[in-house]
Amino acid sequence: MQKRKLGKAGLEVSAIGFGCMGMSQSYGLPGDKKEMISLIHKAVERGVTFFDTAEIYGPHVNEELVGEALEPYKGKLVIATKFGIQGMSKGEQIVDSRPEVIRKSLEGSLKRLRIEAVDLYYQHRVDPNVPIEEVAGTVKTLIQEGKVKHFGMSEAGAKTIRRANAVQPVTALQSEYSLFWREPEKEIIPTLEELGIGFVPFSPLGKGFLTGKIDDKTEFVKNDFRNIVPRFSVEARKANLGLVDLLGRIAVQKEASAAQVALAWILAQKPWMVPIPGTKKLERLDENNQAADLLLTADDLHEINETVSKMTIEGARYPEFLEKRTGL
């Protein structure tokens, strides 16, 4: 597996990371614990060195899974986790980034992950009630104490990123980015490039849509998060299949899969971008990892960008109660 560096601090990770959330929630039934641990071990064997989780995933269950799975490799990998989302109440996401809450969250994460320091500690969502300078200052202190190595942010807006970075350099921003969601290209990516901050796209396969395995006839199980996502309504899926067809055409030419083309497209954008696709299946893990070796030519990229620029992607990426907590 090729390596890439995030941020000016040069945090080195595998070119493709592993998003572990789906092993415990959001995409159908949670995976069998033993099988998920085995899959994480296989990811390490295949050269993946970057694993992503959060205290709210489960909640806590995903960190416990990752901690148990990666304990044999302690000190040899990069583990990222997140603070700042405490749960849901009356359809609203509860965010809390007060200094005392961050410290409590960190102690819990360290225990569950079975580590002495978090390699990359993200603020999961911006808390409008706590100045970002106070959040960054708290993380700066935790770095000085040796409990955190790098500061990250998730789904933050450009102005907030700048303010935080002025207090404690931000190593990486994690936000959604793919051919299915290109909003970060307007302000976020130029800001990251200017400040020397790495970018970690989550949902790089459009929550599975860009794999070509989902169409307007697909039925999701009851507890699948996509059931409440406007972009995954039957009508939206039907309207957006042209994007999948495009990836499929390029994939045939490259003797690859649509998912590999989608990931290779992200890798071709900037050398400091590291997507973190997730999966519960070994064959998908291998498919995703092989995308790091897929070279898209300038002509390939031009064809993709030109075609997509003429498309209108239908449906919001989140229901309103979740979208309003992004881009602050």
Catalytic positions, written as ranges: 57
- Rounded-to-integer distance, Cα 67 and Cα 83, Å: 16
Alpha-carbon gap, residue 53 to 19, rounded angstroms: 7
Secondary structure, 3-state, 146-193 = CCEEEEEEECCCHHHHHHHHHHCCEEEEEEECECCECHHHCCHHHHHH
Determine the Cα–Cα distance for residues 71 and 74; give it in Å rounded to an integer.
5
In terms of C-beta density within 10 A (0-12 exposed, 13-18 middle, 19 or more buried), how is residue 302 classed?
exposed
CA distance 293 to 22: 25
**132's tokens:** 């970002």
How far is the C-alpha of 123 from the C-alpha of 96, rounded, in Å? 10
Answer positive or negative: Cα dihedral of 98, 104, 105, 107: positive
Helix (H) or strand (E) holding 88: strand 85-89
Cα separations in angstroms, 253 against 209, 236, 258, 279, 296: 20, 27, 11, 25, 11
Name residue 103's amino acid: R
d(CA 312, CA 327): 21
3-class DSSP assignment, residue 106? helix
| 62 SS3 class | helix
Six token digits for residue 150: 């790098």
